[in-house]
Structure 1
Amino acid sequence: MAAENIFFTPVGAICRRSVMTCPTTQPLVEAAARMREHNISSLVACEDGDPRGIVTDRDLRNKVVAQGLEPRALTVAEVMNAPLVTIGEDEYLFEALFLMSRRRIHRLCVVDADGRLCGILTDSDVLRLQSRSPQQLMLEIEEAASADALRVLHKKVEELAVHLAGSGIETADLVRTVAHLNDRILVRLIELVRRERHPALTERFAFVVLGSEGRQEQTLVTDQDNAIIHADDLSEAELSGLRAFSEDLIDTLIGIGVPPCSGGIMAKNEAWRRSLGGWKLALNQWLSTPTPENILSGSMFFDLRTLYGERDYERRLKAHITGWLRANKLFLARSAANVIRFKPPLSFFGRIVADKQEPHRGTIDIKKAGIFAITEGVKAMALEAGIVDGGTRERIAGLAGAGVLSGKQADDLAAAFDFLVALRLRAQLLALEQGREPSNRLPLDHLNRIETGRLKLALEEVKAFQNFLHGRFQLAQMG
């Protein structure tokens, strides 16, 4: 198993299945003797066969010896850590690592789909299995004590992405890694800015990410797309504090190396910082008047994902969106029409057509060539079907499950999307190698004959998908 790929391994594939347990009522000295006998550092405490807590050698030191307590008078239940922190055996390793770092613990109990104990995972187990992975970087992010430290770590994320891209890791896994690490940097920055400079900040708000960040489909071009949703009844003082926090946070985010959104889609701007009711009114305006600007705003917002704060606002806004669209599909039809305007760069005879004007001569913009059409077209179809969560691949799978796409359509579209994202990443890495800012423009002369053929097939799939959208939303009737 490649060290870089282990990050995406299900916990059940690497945890230790043999778990030593004891009753919660067992005398502590007996539990300690058992740990010594088997040379282990912990026991899972059970009650009627169900895991309830865990007792470790550290607990014996810190809770008993250091406190001067008499161990013979104690039971396991009086010392164990409870409730037990668990993780499902089908969850990815990176989720386990995040949970351990977040809870400041060194082991997790692994449970099956029915919640039954089936294994244990320790940080030592992970370290023995890998020589280089995002684990250490994630731990450093969680422990970062300043924006300056996060600036360094943000650069390390880019360096890690370059390393992983050359290691043979699947592009989808790499993109997921970048998205997850960038999420953790932003959450840690929010925590630091709030604690250090805005301790009185209201709890009744959510910081949400939008667009590709909301779909967790970032590559190396990671400019900001974010917003804030807050309670309808905040006081003037609370609103003033939230405004100051938002401006401070976004300025600090820019300071650590995350570029501002050229379109101003950032929480520091009033238009992207509204109450729950205010967002519903904005959505009503966008949805009822599908101008190009409103389509762009709505499309960005439909990908909202809560990164920090009150998560119920996201659920309520997504319910508002789907309810509105069930009654009026004009917005989705206009969105689909906008998608179809982005024609794949194919000639009448099916050849790939590169730009002919400097400074982009010989290149194509991979995002405009096909990625945009897939992400936005799939989004429109998913919203029509009531699918509001997940990224593009999850939405494609959902559309196949709902019978909107055939199995072959879904497979072909997902394959085209994956290949185009891989080429986009390749274009960005090439720009970095040449000392340029990451770019979506790929020089066609950097592709071999087989890759060129695969690109042609991917663009043909985009064209076929646009034709499908044309029929699905009856765009011929729109004139």
Structure 2
Amino acid sequence: MTKSSVSPQEGKGPLSPSYESYEDIKQLKESQVNEIAEDPMKLNDAHDEWIKETIALAIQKVESERGPSPAHFAFFLMGSAGRKEQATFSDQDHGIVFDGSDEEHQSYFLKVGEEIREGMAHVGYPRCEGKVMASHPRWCHSIDGWKEQIDGWIETDTWETLRHLLTFVDARTLVGETEFLEEIKNHVFQKAQENPSLLKRMSENTSYLHKGVNAFGRLLPEDKGAYTGSMHIKDVGFFPYVHAMRLLAIKESIQEAGTASRMDQTSEKYPFVQGKKDHFNHMLDLRASFSKKQKTYDDVHYVPIEELDKDEKQQLKKALKEGKNLFQQTKKHMESGDQ
């Protein structure tokens, strides 16, 4: 294996593969992950590099079989990867946007998406069970194709289509033309401005919150199954923050996908956002502190409550309370239609 030479700058290319096989990248990932697992920022930067290496090799493989790329494109990440909030284990959520038209180029880029999907699976990123991957026609379009699909999602206005839209808003370009994704996000923002009820419908789509603390102020871990005594920190802890800040990002036309960065850009205008970033980052650090005990993708979603000391439990309770408050205030704001 050779040392990685891929530029860490997001959205830039082209990429030249530094490794001869996906197995080489997998070994690189496995050799590095434990050294940085307890530092969420370093870990997410490393995920970007491992995925970039995988993409570079995947593109080389497709070009060797089907010729060079027929158009400029961008490969983007969504979900926790899009927000740079991944843990040690992370599944795949990604898409492609390209220049030209679907009729001309979609089949080529679907092949690119398939190769990336299989390469990432080999490297250690499980395939998304919901097929939110660039290998699926829903997540691989031209710029105009993406705009048409988004218009269709909004017009259809079902729980599922709005969920697709919310998923897309957390996209972040990893490789390629950053302006392609920015243009499509701006299309979403424009539609939200033209249709004030859209944000309200989106807030309803994410209105259910998992309860983390009971009426007596006690934390509520799982009471049965393999994770008895542990709390699903993603559902209970992270999601209220993630959902709230995504809605505010749409309302304020913020391109940034990261939850903490969205807080930085909205806290001045929305007082109920102020002070929430520290609580969110605390939970990311708390999850990371158990990284050495996390052996599977499912493990990273849970924090063993019985292993927390008194102060840690109090900090977690506070973070859960602040997240709930943030989401409730955001939802109230969306429903009121205030500017």
Unaligned runs of at least 5 residues, structure 1: 1-94, 104-140, 166-170
The two structures, once aligned, show a CA RMSD in angstroms of 2.9
- Can you list the C-alpha shifts for 1:277-321, whole angstroms capped at 9, x where unaligned? 221121112233443212321121112222223333212101101
Query: Could you say which structure has the larger radius of gyration?
Result: 1
Query: What is the CA distance between 1:369 and its match in structure 2?
Result: 0.7
- Can you list the C-alpha shifts for 1:399-421, whole angstroms capped at 9, x where unaligned? 024x1236xx422x101111111
State the alpha-carbon separation in 2 of the partners of residues 235 and 296 from structure 1. Answer: 26
Q: 1:417 aligns with which of 277, 280, 302?
A: 280
State the alpha-carbon separation in 2 of the partners of residues 251 and 343 from structure 1. Answer: 33
TM-score, structure 2 normalization = 0.86
Asked if residue 262 in structure 1 is aligned to residue 123 in structure 2, the reply is no
Q: 1:322 aligns with which of 173, 184, 189?
A: 189
Query: What is the CA distance between 1:188 and its match in structure 2?
Result: 3.0
Count of aligned pairs between the two proteins? 329
| 1:474 alignment partner, SS class | helix
Asked if residue 210 in structure 1 is aligned to residue 74 in structure 2, the reply is no
- Can you list the C-alpha shifts for 1:55-83, whole angstroms capped at 9, x where unaligned? xxxxxxxxxxxxxxxxxxxxxxxxxxxxx
Q: 1:404 aligns with which of 270, 274, 289?
A: 270
Instruction: Look up the match of 1:451.
Output: 312
State the alpha-carbon separation in 2 of the partners of residues 312 and 436 from structure 1. Answer: 32
Is contact 1:288-1:331 (8 Å) kept? no
Is contact 1:369-1:459 (8 Å) kept? yes
State the alpha-carbon separation in 2 of the partners of residues 370 and 338 from structure 1. Answer: 18
Q: 2:19 aligns with which of 144, 149, 154?
A: 144
Instruction: Look up the match of 1:106.
Output: none
Greater Cα offset, 261-270 or 463-472: 463-472
Residues 96 and 158 of structure 1, relative CA distance in 2, 3 Å threshold: closer
State the alpha-carbon separation in 2 of the partners of residues 379 and 201 from structure 1. Answer: 33
Query: What is the CA distance between 1:234 and its match in structure 2?
Result: 6.1
- Can you list the C-alpha shifts for 1:5-57, whole angstroms capped at 9, x where unaligned? xxxxxxxxxxxxxxxxxxxxxxxxxxxxxxxxxxxxxxxxxxxxxxxxxxxxx
Instruction: Look up the match of 2:206.
Output: 339
| 2:271 alignment partner, SS class | coil
Query: Partner letter of residue 289 of structure 2?
Result: R
- Can you list the C-alpha shifts for 1:314-356, whole angstroms capped at 9, x where unaligned? 1210110111111113332233234331133111122211222
Is contact 1:343-1:463 (8 Å) kept? no
TM-score, structure 1 normalization = 0.62
State the alpha-carbon separation in 2 of the partners of residues 436 and 252 from structure 1. Answer: 17
State the alpha-carbon separation in 2 of the partners of residues 271 and 319 from structure 1. Answer: 19
| 2:118 alignment partner, SS class | helix
Query: What is the CA distance between 1:155 and its match in structure 2?
Result: 1.9
| 1:228 alignment partner, SS class | strand
Query: Partner letter of residue 167 of structure 2?
Result: M
Percent of matched pairs sharing the same residue: 22
Asked if residue 470 in structure 1 is aligned to residue 334 in structure 2, the reply is no
Instruction: Look up the match of 2:35.
Output: 160
Residues 20-419 of structure 1 mapped to structure 2, 5 A cutoff: 98=8, 143-162=18-37, 165=38, 171-233=39-101, 236=104, 238-401=105-268, 403-405=269-271, 409-411=273-275, 413-419=276-282
Residues 211 and 436 of structure 1, relative CA distance in 2, 3 Å threshold: closer
Residues 446 and 338 of structure 1, relative CA distance in 2, 3 Å threshold: farther
Residues 348 and 98 of structure 1, relative CA distance in 2, 3 Å threshold: closer
Is contact 1:424-1:442 (8 Å) kept? yes
- Can you list the C-alpha shifts for 1:256-285, whole angstroms capped at 9, x where unaligned? 222101110111112211222221121112
